[in-house]
């Protein structure tokens, strides 16, 4: 499987290198930030502190090394709404241990988009300086969306250590006007001893390469009707992110507790977070999950640490709940109800996960 991932990465590299030939590269920040939403409502409820102990199908995103803990086929789906429902986010994945191997393979799909955006470029009559007659006939709708497909593989090194990798292919589109393709590679590892777990995920370790093209014909009205220049496509480079996490499990009879903390190290010269070392920003995440007889779960977290002009530290609390019923896990996450992010509206996530191995034990 490692050879397959290496071959796929090489093929993608060759394809995109040919696409980018003769064009300059631009280093950007937040170029694939839609992927930071992640996978699963459980993670949102815990403040996205998930790198060290993710061990189900959602681990393909948080840390592909955690895929080795799957006991059978798993599938998951999540829907999330952000910024008061303006932005929709959908995630789906399936994973299964490979027969005759210690490895586990996962395929994940992500989409974030704003739909039904009105295109009024052709609705203005420049000569008369007013909307055209029958203006609705000249108004169309489009979507601005980001898509990603991730192929992941995890395998154990020994009883305590595992590693994994993910190949990502992204597509961004702004209706019929502009389109971009990108690719990158993630590498992750998890180590556990007793009740303690440590994890690291090197996201976009190859750097994220993203190549934009613009359809000038679709934007011709910018030039003819408004006198603006038609933009041109460019090639973007997005630097890696290092996710480091630690977690500990506690057991109290019928009750359980997981305490986790993550730190995201970004190298894009972001200035929105309260710890910066040169061009590196440090983004903490803290999470707790309390469970009862491995069936009912309550979650709490802290994320989006930032400072205001007076130097005061703000953070966004998160809440979540989960219910396990046979082979199914139902999870809900809620955030952005306090702190600076609350001004952008609430964030809700609902997710469903199915585990085939638990279906057999439940029956």
pLDDT digits (tens, 9 = 90+) for 55-85: 999 999 999 999 999 989 999 999 887 766 6
Q: Pick the residue with more confidence: 289 or 27?
A: 289
Q: Is the pLDDT of residue 11 over 50?
A: no
Q: Pick the residue with more confidence: 271 or 357?
A: 357
Q: Pick the residue with more confidence: 199 or 101?
A: 199
pLDDT of residue 223: 60
CA 182 to chain centre: 15
Q: What integer is the mean pLDDT of 115-130? A: 74
Dihedrals φ, ψ of 165, to 5°? -145, 155
Structure-token match 């996490």, residue found: 245
Q: What integer is the mean pLDDT of 311-339? A: 84
Question: Cβ(47)–Cβ(64) under 8 Å?
Answer: no
Mean pLDDT, the chain, rounded, equals 83
* Per-position DSSP letters for 234-257, written without gaps between them: -EEEE--EEEEEEEEEEEETTEEE
Can you tell me the distance from the alpha carbon of 285 to that of 199, in angstroms, rounded to the nearest whole number? 14
Can you tell me the distance from the alpha carbon of 91 to that of 105, in angstroms, rounded to the nearest whole number? 17
Task: Name the residue ranges covered by the structural domains of the chain.
Answer: 2-362
| pLDDT bracket for residue 1 (50, 70, 90) | low
Closest CA to 155 of 146, 163, 147: 163
| pLDDT bracket for residue 339 (50, 70, 90) | very low
pLDDT of residue 4: 47
Q: What is the pLDDT of residues 262-292, one digit of tens each?
A: 999 988 777 665 677 777 888 899 999 999 9
Kind plus residue range of the DSSP H or E element containing 153: strand 140-156
Integer angstrom CA distances of residue 97 from 25, 152, 188: 39, 12, 18
Q: What is the pLDDT of residues 287-324, one digit of tens each?
A: 999 999 999 999 999 988 776 666 677 788 999 999 99
Q: What is the pLDDT of residues 171-224, one digit of tens each?
A: 988 888 888 888 999 999 999 998 999 999 999 998 888 888 887 776 766 666
pLDDT of residue 101: 86
Task: Give the contacts of 14 (CB within 8 A, at least 6 positions apart).
Answer: none
Can you tell me the distance from the alpha carbon of 288 to that of 279, in angstroms, rounded to the nearest whole number? 30
| pLDDT bracket for residue 225 (50, 70, 90) | low
Can you tell me the distance from the alpha carbon of 276 to that of 268, in angstroms, rounded to the nearest whole number? 11
pLDDT of residue 231: 67
pLDDT of residue 25: 65
Task: State the distance between the two ends of the chain, measured CA to CA, in whole angstroms.
Answer: 33
138 burial (CB, 10 Å; 0-12 / 13-18 / 19+) is: middle
Integer angstrom CA distances of residue 203 from 147, 197, 243, 353: 17, 19, 7, 24
Angle, CA 263 vertex, CA 259 and CA 266 arms, to 5°: 160
Closest CA to 306 of 332, 351, 272, 334: 272
pLDDT of residue 324: 95
- Please identify, in words, the CATH class of the domain defined by 2-362: mainly beta
| Rg for the chain, CA atoms, rounded | 22
Q: What is the pLDDT of residues 128-161, one digit of tens each?
A: 777 777 778 778 788 888 999 999 999 999 999 9
CA 274 to chain centre: 22
Tokens of 289: 């999950």
pLDDT of residue 97: 94
DSSP-derived pairing of the beta strands 25-27 and 235-238:
parallel
């Amino acid at each position: 499987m490692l050879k397959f991932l290496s071959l796929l990465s090489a093929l993608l590299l060759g394809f995109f290198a040919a696409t980018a030939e003769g064009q300059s590269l631009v280093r950007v920040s937040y170029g694939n930030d839609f992927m930071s939403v992640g996978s699963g409502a459980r993670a949102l409820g815990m403040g996205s502190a998930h790198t060290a102990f993710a061990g189900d199908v959602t681990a393909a995103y948080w840390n592909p090394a955690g895929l080795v803990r799957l006991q059978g086929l798993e599938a998951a789906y999540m829907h999330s709404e952000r910024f008061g429902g303006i932005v929709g986010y959908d995630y789906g994945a399936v994973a299964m241990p490979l027969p005759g191997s210690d490895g586990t393979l996962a395929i994940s799909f992500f989409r974030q988009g704003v739909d039904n955006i009105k295109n009024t470029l052709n609705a203005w009559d420049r000569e008369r300086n007013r909307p055209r007659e029958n203006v609705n006939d000249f108004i169309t709708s489009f979507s601005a969306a980001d898509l990603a497909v991730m192929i992941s593989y995890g395998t154990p090194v020994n009883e305590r250590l595992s590693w994994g990798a993910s190949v990502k292919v992204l597509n961004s589109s702004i209706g019929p006007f502009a389109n971009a393709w990108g690719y990158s590679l993630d590498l992750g590892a998890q180590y556990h001893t007793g009740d303690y777990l440590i994890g690291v995920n090197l996201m976009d370790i190859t750097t994220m390469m993203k190549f934009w093209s613009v359809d000038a014909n679709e934007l011709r009205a910018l030039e003819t009707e408004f006198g603006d220049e038609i933009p041109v496509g460019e090639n973007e480079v997005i630097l890696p992110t290092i996710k480091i996490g630690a977690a500990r499990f506690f057991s109290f009879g019928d009750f359980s507790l997981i305490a986790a903390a993550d730190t995201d190290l970004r190298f894009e010269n972001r200035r929105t977070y309260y710890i910066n070392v040169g061009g590196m920003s440090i983004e903490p995440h803290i999470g707790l999950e309390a469970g009862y007889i491995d069936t009912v779960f309550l979650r709490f977290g802290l994320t989006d640490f930032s400072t205001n002009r007076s130097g005061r530290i703000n953070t966004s609390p998160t809440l979540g709940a989960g219910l396990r019923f046979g082979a199914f896990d139902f999870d809900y996450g809620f955030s952005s109800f306090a702190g600076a992010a609350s001004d952008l509206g609430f964030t809700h996530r609902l997710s469903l996960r199915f585990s085939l191995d638990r279906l057999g034990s439940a029956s």
